[in-house]
Amino acid sequence: MSAADYIGRLVEVEIDRPLGSSHPDHGFRYPVNYGFVPGVPAPDGDELDAYVLGVAEPRERFTGRCIAVVHRLDEDDDKLVVVPDGVEISDAEVTRLTQFQERFFTSTILRS
């Protein structure tokens, strides 16, 4: 199953880098909750990563709807974009909210 197959689905995200935490190696702070979908392998060998947008407080787990995928063109490490069910966020807003990390990569936003 590819990351794009999750678009439109409810997914549970385990958040290992909550909003406001620091990256363990690079020192930047996470302006959003960031985590992974437990038990779902990604092509890079880790579990499938996810940005949780539209949530203003740090979380440990979050269940929401995948509305898009940040598809990295220069790395095999796509990221789900998960929001509270019923929330819509524009591509421009996804780009703005994920720029803290995606600025280091060439990516595009996939929708269904």
CATH code at 28? Answer: 3.90.80.10
Name 76's Cβ contacts closer than 8 Å, sequence gap at least 6. Answer: 42, 43, 44
> What are the tens digits of pLDDT across the range 11-52?
999 999 999 999 888 778 999 999 999 999 988 889 999 999
- Residue 41 to residues 17, 25, 36, 49: CA-CA distances in angstroms? 18, 22, 10, 9
Overall number of domains in the chain? 1
Predicted model pTM: 0.94
CA dist 20 and 4 (Å) reads 28
> What are the tens digits of pLDDT across the range 47-86?
999 999 999 999 999 999 999 999 998 888 899 999 999 9
Q: Could you tell me if 17 and 43 are in contact, meaning their C-beta atoms sit under 8 angstroms apart?
A: no
CA dist 93 and 79 (Å) reads 15
Count Cβ atoms below 10 Å from residue 42 Cβ, excluding itself. Answer: 18
User: For residue 52, which of 41, 42, 62 has the smallest C-alpha distance?
Assistant: 62
Please give the pLDDT value at position 101: 87
The secondary structure of residue 71, as a DSSP letter, is: E
Domain that holds residue 88: 3-110
State both tokens at 21: 């935490």
